[in-house]
Amino acid sequence: MKTTTHSSGQGAGLLAEFEGTVSGHRDGHGFVLRDDGEADIYLPPNEMRAVLHKDRVKARIVRHDRKNRPEGRVTEIIERSSNPIIGRLLQESGVWLVAPEDKRYGQDVLIPKGATGAAKPGQIVVVELTEPPALFGQPVGRVKEVLGEIDDPGMEIEIAVRKYGVPHEFSDAALALARTLPDAVRPTDKKHRIDLTDVPLVTIDGEDARDFDDAVYCEPAKVGRGKGWRLLVAIADVSHYVETGSAIDIDAYDRATSVYFPRRVIPMLPEKLSNGLCSLNPNVERLCMVCDMLVNAKGEVHAYQFYPAVMFSHARFTYTEVAAILANTRGPEAAQRKALVPHLLDLHDVYQALLKERGVRGAVDFETTETQIVCDEAGRIEKIVPRTRNVAHRLIEESMLAANVCSADYIAQSKHVGLFRVHEGPTPEKKDMLRNYLKAIGLGMSISDDPTPGEFQQIAVATKDRQDAQQIHSMLLRSMQQAIYTPMNSGHFGLAYEAYTHFTSPIRRYPDLLVHRVIKAILNKSKYELPLLPTPGEAEAKLSKRLASRVKDPDQKPKKASADQLAWMAAGLHCSANERRADEASRDVEAWLKCKYMREHLGEEFGGVVTAATSFGIFVTLDAMYVEGLVHITELGGEYFRFDEARQELRGERTGIRYAIGTRVRVQVSRVDLDGRKIDFRLVREGEELLTRAMKDKAGGRSSDLPDQERSPARKTDPRGDERSGRRTGKGAEQRSGARSGNAAGNSRTAKSPIQALKAAVKKSAASAGRKQSKKPRR
């Protein structure tokens, strides 16, 4: 990248020109995500008029704003984003507009009269831009596709797949090729394979699973001179049916992963493969790749081998069923599966050995609560429940980890290029943040300059019974980096493995499919060549920029990679970026469903716990709903609150009240923004509940009839600005809580408490009644 620097005396870096991608925000402000990995550059609203979210631009830093953010100016628009815009079609004073569903676009799109197609006002449409925005003109577009009404079942998914660019339709060529595939395993497919049809392999998955990647079997075996187990992990042999460079392979690479939404899955492979030919369904023959391991009593893999096989699943178990059998081998569940119970007990034995070795290894093991959204037939949320992990989940997890480690070792030992699943240790900045936090809470434990996973695990174990355990474990997790796919193996920090990869889910993850192909090539004493892959796109470029900042020694020159390694690096970046894309799309749909669910609970009160503290407020997760919302700093009371970054808490300067992760609070649902995927809460204090209920009773139980001062303020603009997206207003930011726009700071002194307000209302009502009585003529 060519950079020109002008000496202006305004400070280092000012007026330096750079390239990047625009990331817009809902309040009209934006940022440029720089390609060189430096700090993101703030764009004021006037600079955002001529650009849109995801445009590629050249910009330069011209000053630092009052929040000390580097402020930039766009000097050139390199490339306009080709992504379609999804939004709601509106008609205002005879003018057709589309309000983008993604608020980062910041501008409505004008639609000429003849460009609305068959769309009706209020419907969700996909818009293609015909004219970009300008300093004094809005963008212009035409309706390309009509998705339907906002309340149509599944609309949130239709929006998300287009909003995040998730491929959701297979090419005609891929579908045509899938139709030519057989419906069952043919005799010719069994050649050069080990026959495992007599081995009682079983699948263990969730109740709602439709595709089955893996099957397991275990039996006691002599390992060396001691006791141990033979553990078989059989994985669907997708690579037998999906040939490199075929139409199905191209579509699978484009998707890189299956995307899971409530009530719907967008698969990586056509259904004939994902739910049929490649799924290890019970009582049918299936082709598989097997990792055959010998595990000793210490839980160490003594030996392993890989080979292609044909198998026959003897049962389709659920996690709940296996957990019940292991808890009671004489129960009704065990009676129905009598012949397979001994093998399940062997699996449990090898799991306990593997778990013991995990502890010796020092792998990080935090207990987190995942939630599951339960929907009705119309797609509406019925309830949100915690997804509990039982012994069967852990049993399968440890078996899969063992197979993945053997796969990584096999590829590394063979010197073949392949994709590893790499998870590096915390960055220097994150290490400092964690050390400061542990010191601030007076824990007496910390991490070294070159920490091991065992240090994190020791802290987690030592604090598991503390009241602030959730807060401490959350900070431990936040200090870690995200895992990526790369051909450059540097180990997996969290799992404490020297080499790790993904081998166990080729139906739903493209990196696993590549690992299968590499292992087959090694078995055949050949080399797997990647096909000519598409050039990495914007998502990969952004991820590459972030990864570039991980270089530990800036003076160390990276080794020149071969063309083969560069191709594998591109594939790894593509798979990593699309994994994040799938996660973002899933989270977006879940947030939309939760917002729609919480609209039915406006005005209701719930208990909850603080799950994050920021300079602009606290995020609270409700106990009963498992839904997170924001209590803005203006709702915390009439005093100054300072954000303590070291302790990750907000502290009131006058009262000393603290809001940190784990603090229990009671809140009222005050506002739901469906388009912005945001839920606002307000704190409910002692005495305030009495007043709210009294006013509701007086108004006939309708919160809408409450007097203005008792309703949560309806904001015309979101005072959080861009902070809601995770950007802070600065370290140790001070904000005046309770300060409404235009209100003097001294108003808090004269503000009445809830009890005083209630007494005043009663007194006023009595006085009014007295005046009416005095005006009546005497009899």
What would the pLDDT profile of 165-217 be if each residue is shown by its tens digit?
Answer: 999 999 999 999 999 999 999 999 999 999 999 999 999 999 888 889 999 99
Helix ranges restricted to H, 441-562? 453-462, 469-478, 510-523, 538-548
Per-residue model confidence (pLDDT) at position 187: 94
pLDDT of 345: 97
Percent residues over pLDDT 70 in the chain: 82
Highest mean pLDDT among 103-117, 233-247, 636-650, 653-667: 233-247
- Tell me the average pLDDT across 279-286: 96
How many whole angstroms separate alpha carbon 31 and alpha carbon 40?
6
Instruction: Report the mean per-residue pLDDT for the chain.
Output: 83
Say if residue 733's pLDDT is above 60: no
**How many Å apart are CA 127 and CA 113, to the nearest integer?**
14
For the residues 258-286, what does the mean pLDDT come to?
A: 94
Strands 315-318, 202-205: pairing kind: parallel
Report the pLDDT value the prediction gives residue 543, as an integer from 0 to 100: 53
Q: pLDDT value at position 744?
A: 36
Give residue for tokens 């930011």: 733
pLDDT at 19 over 90: no
The confidence score (pLDDT) of residue 646 equals 82
The pLDDT score that the predictor gives to residue 116 is: 92
pTM of the model: 0.81
Read off the tokens for 745: 């700071």
Q: Is the pLDDT of residue 731 over 80?
A: no
Rounded to whole angstroms, the Cα distance separating 43 from 39 reads: 13
Sign of CA dihedral 728, 734, 736, 740: negative
Q: What are phi and psi of 97, to 5 degrees?
A: -135, 155
pLDDT given for residue 743 in this prediction: 37
Over residues 290-338, the pLDDT tens digits come to: 999 999 999 999 999 999 999 999 999 999 999 999 999 999 999 999 9
Find the range with the poorest average confidence among 68-72, 223-227, 535-539: 535-539
Instruction: Using the predicted structure, report yes or no on whether residue 668 has a pLDDT greater than 90.
Output: yes
User: How do 301-312 and 194-195 pair as beta strands?
Assistant: parallel
Please, which contacts does 337-342 make with residues 24 or more away whose CB atoms are closer than 8 Å? 339/200, 340/200, 340/202, 340/314, 340/315
State the pLDDT at residue 759: 54
Cα 654 from chain centre: 38
Contacts of residue 463, defined as CB under 8 A and 6 or more positions apart, other chains included, come to 443, 469, 472, 473
Whether residue 295 contacts residue 355, with contact meaning beta carbons closer than 8 Å, is answered with no
738-741 long-range contacts, CB within 8 A, separation 24+: 738/634, 738/635, 738/636, 738/637, 738/638, 738/639, 739/634, 740/634, 740/713
Lowest average pLDDT, out of 47-51, 168-172, 740-744, goes to: 740-744
Q: Is pLDDT at 70 greater than 70 in this prediction?
A: yes
| pLDDT level of residue 560 (50, 70, 90 thresholds) | low
For residue 143, what are the β-bridge partners? Answer: 127
For residue 319, the model assigns a pLDDT of 96
- Average pLDDT on 618-623 reads 94
CA dihedral (252, 253, 256, 258) in degrees, to 10, reads -10
Q: Centre a 10 Å sphere on the Cβ of residue 335 and count the other Cβ atoms it contains.
A: 11
> Which pLDDT score is estimated for 377?
77
Q: Which residue did the predictor score with more confidence, 547 or 100?
A: 100
Residues 263-276: pLDDT tens digits?
A: 899 999 999 999 99
According to the per-residue pLDDT averaged within each range, which of 25-29, 557-561, 596-600 is highest?
A: 596-600
What pLDDT shows up at residue 732? 36
Among the listed residues 398, 201, 361, the one whose alpha carbon sits nearest the alpha carbon of residue 288: 201
Q: Which of 134-148, 240-254, 616-630, 636-650 is predicted least confidently?
A: 636-650
Model confidence at 14, in pLDDT bands (50, 70, 90)? low
Residues 602 and 672 sit within 8 Å (Cβ to Cβ)? yes
- Give CA angle at 542 (536, 544), nearest 5°: 70
Convert 10-48 to b/e letters by CB count within 10 Å (16 or more is b). eeeebbebbbbbbbbbbbbbbbbbbbeeeebbbbeeebb
619 pLDDT band (50/70/90 cuts)?
very high
